[in-house]
Structure 1
């Protein structure tokens, strides 16, 4: 286990601070009191988990580990106003009966969606739960690592494309931007986002990443 991963594990083993401040930095106008858009609530909140999977990447000679990356997934477009089709997120999904706990949900979903088998011993902790109103889901983000870049095998039904996001990009304040996003029902949101090359990471995923980056700042 690298020094960085060990420090991160130690921090995740300690109590988390309230995440609202970090979440607020990347929340869209849909979550503010001033915004009038009303979500449809389902009868029972869905319990789900996602995985932030860190792995080192190397220079062009393949002999110097100088940063970390995390796979994000671009979801295929599909119909419906309150869904995440066409958006960028973390591998993950809803808990199923066979899942022993939410950590196993995150591991199973990661294998199903991007073809990576993550050992339980490589999960080093979790972040604060985050409620996602459009899908009426309570999501727990887990943090894990691989010692080298995994071989990705995306499921085309779940993943249009895998985006390998360098941690240094997410940490760069100059790559945190703002734009307007038009939803399928013509509602327009003011959205802060992380710019990763030509991709925009916003919404609940950006809020989870914001808490994660705050924790990294504490151990640096």
Structure 2
């Protein structure tokens, strides 16, 4: 089994274990909140100078965008790819895949969806945001647009972020960058703040390569993913190395 296949398998298994446990039950402002969906999208964050023979989970990075300055809401903020679920979308994950293609130009066939992360409200508590853990994989011939929790059987290579040739939507996205898992887990890169005004719920904030501030809902989703999926998968990796 290739190192890429091992990474995908460990992430999938850690996600399945995390989804079997209870998460926070949020109270929304209505019984029928609006629906939105995002991708916690991972790519190979190595470059030609840092790539090694064997891929490890720490080599992955989270793909993030800076929202365009002209947007009416959250202009200039760091965000995961995604948006509102439209009536024409088959389901929430289909909306996240569509929005990712529209925002940064990733071919849906190159998105391997591993499964859902816990939903969380937006700052108004009127919208339920459904995150999904996903990978950008190699050539389209090996990729899958399946929305099941099973990664592609072809065991594709996880795509290098610096090789993606992204096409950004100028009306929606100012820039796109990747934050390496190893850097996100480094306590020296973290500052903490309350989330949703809850003194009992403190989450880290980070800064990107050009001082982009990662905070709020995006930081909450990333922090939860790191704690419940990424770190357990890394622990398994260490135990089996």
Report Cα offsets for 1:127-185 as digits up to 9, x if no partner: 000011337321011111122122211101110111221111111111111479xxxxx
Report Cα offsets for 1:12-68 as digits up to 9, x if no partner: 223343444xx9xxxxxxxxxxxxxxxxx7996320100111111334347525611
Matched residue, 2:21: 17
Moved more, 153-162 or 112-121: 112-121
How many residues are matched? 191
Report the RMSD for the aligned CA atoms in angstroms: 2.9
Contact 2:70–2:171 (Cα < 8 Å) also in 1: no
Which runs of structure 2 are paired with 1:100-111 in the superposition (5 Å)? 100-111=90-101
Contact 1:71–1:163 (Cα < 8 Å) also in 2: yes
Where does the alignment leave 5 or more consecutive residues of structure 2 unmatched? 138-157, 195-201, 236-241
TM-score (norm 1): 0.75
Give me the whole-angstrom Cα distance separating, in 2, the residues matched to 1:86 and 1:121.
Answer: 26
Tell me the secondary structure at the aligned position of residue 165 of structure 2: coil
Using a 3 Å threshold, how does the CA distance of structure 1 residues 195 and 16 change in structure 2: closer, same or farther? farther
Among 197, 214, 217, which residue is 2:231 paired with? Answer: 217
Where does the alignment leave 5 or more consecutive residues of structure 1 unmatched? 24-40, 181-189
Matched residue, 1:8: 11
Which runs of structure 2 are paired with 1:31-70 in the superposition (5 Å)? 45-61=33-49, 64=52, 65=55, 67-70=59-62
